[in-house]
Amino acid sequence: MPHHARRLGLSLITLPTVIIYSWIAATHAEATPPVVNEMELPVPSGCIGPMATICNGTVVDTGGGCDAAPGINSCLNAADTVLALPPGVYLIRSTIQIQYDGITLSTQNLSEDTTTCMKDPTSKPCAVLRAADDFAEKALLLIGNKSRPVNRITPVNRITVDHIALDGALEARSRNEAITDACGSKGYGRNVIEVGGANNTMRYSASVNALCGTAIGWAVAKTGIGSVITKNYIAHNGFGFPERTVWSDGLTIGKVSGATITDNLFQDSTDVDVVIGGATNSTFSGNLIRHLSRHSFAGFMLTNWSLRTSPGTAQWADFRGFDISNNTFNCNSRVEICVQIGVFPWFFPPTDWARWRTMGGTFRNNRIYTHLQGINFGGGGTLRFPFVMYGNSIFSAATTADIGVSDRKSRRVGRMNVFRPGAENFIEVRNGQERDLDMADEWHSLF
């Protein structure tokens, strides 16, 4: 059963984009490996090539034939390192770890390119980090230092992942029961885990075929300050209900502040394409969420991660100053709730439920296309900090549909459902948006 609050295995801050880009250009100019005769360097055992030198004395297989992780990790062993990998496929058997500040991981000769890895035929070839069929660690890429202090992962800062593709080898790994058993609450199956930190960026990259959990888990331990997630392709993650119960979000965010999440394509992830537990003074704009083949429970969701804790520590999830604008949500008939504000369809605590809501957030000038439920509110907004929405176009083509898992049944669907407005939900609608409020049904603990 999908359980977002449970699924983050770690416990649960933006410089403008132009500043981050100029900083990279000024201090992280793409390094060119020294000219070395690769025949004179040791080749890892069992590799048949093609081979490439990626930093001084380190040769790895760029054809996906043997494990490239030890070589890549050996090149990422100091702060302010720039590692530009040649395009190719890098087989990964152990987690790639970015444990120092100021590291850039990229593909050679693409620092000025504006195409996104894997997105379409015009995309330039990127370095692809592909999970081995028996890869059984928590993530392909870990952005955080797990060596200080011992047994804890601490944030690192000023990290850039640029034109890198991560492939979780979903089809092959899903056939291994020992690997799928480690999904869910054990926290395995992710492509990327970023634990938090300041001014970390992921751009023009791809995260596809994640086994379970999420394709990108961002700011999952500490608040991410100044995060930039832009022009990425996040697609085909998990298999989805009802075909198989190996589900994966596309982008899962713990809490961020001053974040910029723009111009990404989220496609066919199978739990929630984008789920965020807190975002203050941040922007989510110009993104496309679409479903062409796989089923998902929600396309976009604002949640409350404090449900993972005891009732005594419950708190409202903070979205004050979060602008969600000019996005397209093309959910078709494959996403049960296209936009979900609040966590109550997943859980509804019988006591103290008023403490588990979200607060703040503005939803404006977005386009929603669905055959099922357009927007559902279940614990969205507070009396002092309501959820504000206006200027959105909502198209819903159905009147009833099967919705839910734990309480799956045929339900009435429409453009906008707000149950118990002024009590469970506090929504401020403007400029005629109230005409889309066509439902007031109770949807609790469906998933």
What pTM did the predictor assign?
Answer: 0.89
Asked if 298 contacts 275 with a C-beta cutoff of 8 angstroms, the reply is yes
> pLDDT tens-digit profile of 328-377?
999 999 999 999 999 999 989 888 888 899 999 999 999 999 999 999 99
Q: Map out the domains of the chain as residue ranges.
A: 4-439
* pLDDT per position as a tens digit, 125-178: 999 999 999 999 999 999 999 876 566 889 999 999 999 999 999 999 999 988
Average pLDDT over residues 395-413: 93
- The top-level CATH class assigned to 4-439 is mainly beta
- The residue-averaged pLDDT of 37-46 equals 52
